[in-house]
Amino acid sequence: MNKIENQKAWFFVLPVLALVAFNAIIPLMTVVNYSVQETFGDNTFFWAGVMWFEQVLTSERFHASLGRQMIFTFSILAIEIPLGVLIALTMPRKGPWVPVCLVLMALPLLIPWNVVGAMWNIFALPDIGLLGRTLNAIGFDYNFTRQPGDAWFTMILMDVWHWTSLVVLLAYAGLVSIPDAYYQAAKIDGAKPLAIFRYIQLPKMKRVLTIAILLRFMDSFMIYTEPFVLTGGGPGNSTTLLSIDLVKIALGQFDLGPAAAMSLIYFLIILAMSWVFYTVMMRNEAN
Amino acid sequence: MSLELINVSKRVGVEQHIYPTDLKLEPGGLNILLGTTLSGKTTLMQMMAGLDKLTTGELRFNGRDVTKTPVQKRNVSMVYQQFINYPNFSVFENIASPLRVAGVAEGEIKRRVGEMSELMKLSGMLDRRPSELSGGQQQRTAMARALVKDADLVLLDEPLANLDFKLREELRDELPRLFADRNCVVVYATTEPVEALLFGGNTATLHEGRVTQFGPTSEIYRNPKDLISAEVFSEPPINHGDVVKSGSTITLSGGGSWPATGAAASLADGKYTLGLRPHHVTPQDDGGQSIEVSGEVLVTEISGSESVIHFTIGGRTWVSQSHGVHPVEVGEVEQLFADVSQAFYFDASGALVAG
């Protein structure tokens, strides 16, 4: 069979290419540019090779914030995914309460991120915040601006409050797409609720849960606004996640070279981990 | 073995889904529930299975009242229109699942699944997942699962509806054989009169939540009790005509007249509704007691071996179905022949009075 060559088709791709180049590739290239040069502020640049990369990769500071980032991301995944599935399972599948539940669930997602940070900041203040005062009143010595443990607790609670809804909505979408007949068939077999969850609902939710884990992984790994507004990375450096550290280096210290190198490393970590997640989960599916 | 429905009905809110129904279903041949979508087939089946509560009435299995017995204790199995299998189980495990729940020994499971997969032509694919099978194979797996546990009651809810034409034909041929020597009550729901006729057994015609007629399939087809049963059991739909009997002559509105013979001869004078199946209206005179009818052609569907012509007569639309290719022009007035010796006559209430 003769394959028809149509090189004109490339012209249709050009607009998208131009757009992507403009908003992704070109900015990325400037970062690459900074990452391999040294600058002294008056727009003179000197070749630095992989110096910044070496510096970042060997710095304890980077290791520490990467470690905090990992702990944060895996903690919220460990809480939000099971919790989201659990909530989705308890939501009604038909009837007048469905839209009410959906709207209630979607509400946290509609709040701007900096507002979420500000809300929780005030909410958790030990002297005037509802949460802070209540915790202290019932006997906990709670102060998220002073004690790292409390800061972490608040930060994770805030993220769970803000983003579990996304997992709920995705899991719910997966659940409602299961035809009634599956539940009836299970009932005829005499399957217990746990077996129904394990052998029908979970396998049927697998696809949407993969998406949920990926989205939550990427978003939480890049999180900046909410913890920045809530704790500003403190107390000390205890809640300084990767992105907060990056901004400190780039804008606080104006170390463009190391900041650019760190950005690229940061980007590659997210890319690599997303790829690993996706491949592992999709391979499980194929087997 | 038998399943008896006594005064069974279902009401949800103000809507009557099933009107009080009495049925007695027995093994040997399929029991067919024939009716259009939303006629209540699925509701009726779910009540039989115990998946849906009865509003009134009683369900008896072998004379024993099982109305309140939970579904998992009834030994029923069901096959659905969608292909329902455990998504992450292999075909073997899918078929074996009811046996595992029942705690059957491993060797026995192997033997029975092997036997069943042989019968269902699934032997070569026992290690595959449902997602790696064709639609026909998925539905075979679901059927194998329903059959393997030797249920007393097997419910098949339009199991062939989602299959493509070829596979449907294939499974249609196999189905009666699968149930031939099983001692269980089999209920088969379908929207297609053809399937009912192919499977034989007994048929119940359903219309808007009522079982209008129940009996041996061919008898129901040949002697519809009323207009609705005749309508349900006719594809293309049965033709309706307004006729007047006066003396020994019957006159069709918009058509001709003919002498009343046979059962029609004893009808009292007055107005009746005539029911005539589409294959008794043909472009050529097939003999019998034919009268000429003519009307404007609305639609023609001509396949390789069959012609279907829709035309107007006496303010109604009639359908003619005949073998062979009979090209006619849409919009033309066409001359056709109606074999009125095959006609049914219904009175004003819709009950069959002659035919």
Say how many CB pairs under 8 Å bridge A and B: 44
CB of B336 within 8 A of CB of B294?
A: yes
- Its domain, for residue B271, covers 239-354
Q: Is residue A40 part of a domain?
A: no
Give, to the nearest 10 degrees, the angle between helix A256-286 and helix A60-90: 40
Whether B124 is covered by a domain: the verdict is: yes
Q: Which amino acid is at A130?
A: L
Of B78, B86, B89, the CB nearest to A188: B78
Residue range(s) defining the domain that contains residue A163: 60-286
Give percent of chain B above pLDDT 90: 28
Distance to chain B for A285, nearest Cα, Å = 9
Would you place residue A155 in the very low, low, confident or very high pLDDT band (cuts 50, 70, 90)?
very high
| Residue A135 resides in a domain | yes
Q: How many residues does chain B have?
A: 355
ipTM > 0.85 (yes/no): no
Structural domains counted in chain A: 1
How many whole angstroms separate alpha carbon B25 and alpha carbon B187? 8
Give the per-residue pLDDT at B318: 92
Asked which of B169, B193, B227 is the last residue of a domain, the reply is: B227
Distances from the Cα of A262 to the Cαs of A24, A47, A138, A265, in angstroms? 17, 17, 44, 5
Closest residue of B to A188, CA-based? B72
Window 88-127 of B, Cβ < 8 Å to A:
88-89, 97-98, 101
Residue B289 pLDDT? 79
Residue A140 lies in a domain: yes
pLDDT tens-place string over residues A180-192: 888 888 888 888 8
- Answer yes or no: are the C-beta atoms of B148 and B113 closer than 8 Å: yes
B86 touches A: beta carbon within 8 Å: yes
DSSP H or E stretch at residue B336: strand B333-339
Q: Does A286 touch chain B (CB under 8 A)?
A: no
Its pTM surpasses 0.80: no
CATH code for position B124:
3.40.50.300
Residue A270 included in any domain? yes
For residue B99, the distance in angstroms to the closest alpha carbon of chain A comes to 9
Residues A224/A233, Cβ–Cβ less than 8 Å: no
Q: From the DSSP assignment, how many helices (H) and strands (E) are in chain B?
A: 8, 21
- Nearest Cβ partner for B84 among A181, A190, A199: A181
Q: Has residue B233 been placed in a domain?
A: no
B209 and B86 together in one domain: yes
Q: Touching check for A4 and chain B: CB below 8 Å?
A: no
Which residue of chain B has the CA closest to A200? B86
The answer to whether position A149 is within a domain reads: yes
Chain A interface disruption, residue of B75, B79, B83, B88, most A CBs within 10 A: B88
Q: Is residue B302 left, alpha or beta, with left meaning phi > 0 and alpha meaning psi from -120 to 50?
A: beta
Same domain, B153 and B296: no
> Does residue B217 sit in the same domain as residue B246?
no
pLDDT at A287: 54
Say if A66 falls within a structural domain: yes
| Residue A279 maps to a domain | yes
B71 and B128 share one domain:
yes
Low-confidence ranges of chain B (pLDDT < 70): none
Domain CATH for A143: 1.10.3720.10
Residue that is written with structure tokens 């005030």 in the block: A122
- If you search the block for the tokens 């690229």, which residue do you land on? A264
Residue B232 belongs to some domain of the structure: no
Do B209 and B287 have their domain in common? no
Same domain, yes or no: B245 and B219:
no
Q: In whole angstroms, give the CA distance from residue A126 to residue A134.
A: 8
Q: How many structural domains comprise chain B?
A: 2
**Helix, strand, coil distribution of chain A in percent, nearest 5:** 75, 0, 25
Query: Residue B234: inside a domain, yes or no?
Result: no
| A residues 121-180 lying closer than 8 A (beta carbon) to B | 179
CA-to-CA distance for A210 and A216, rounded, in angstroms? 10
CA distances from A196 to A189, A204, A210, B147 (A): 10, 11, 20, 21
Residue where a domain terminates, one of B227, B248, B277: B227
Domain of B281: which CATH number?
2.40.50.140
**Encoded tokens for B347:** 């009175």
Residue A178: inside a domain, yes or no?
Answer: yes
Query: Given this model, what pLDDT does residue A2 score?
Result: 64
Residue B223 and residue B291 in one domain: no
* Residue A72 pLDDT class (50, 70, 90 cuts): very high
Mark yes or no for CB contact A203/B88 under 8 Å: yes
Nearest residue, CB atoms, A188 vs list B77, B82, B86: B77
How many helices (H) and strands (E) would you count in chain A? Answer: 14, 2
Of the candidates B192, B197, B153, B195, which has an alpha carbon nearest to the alpha carbon of residue B172?
B195
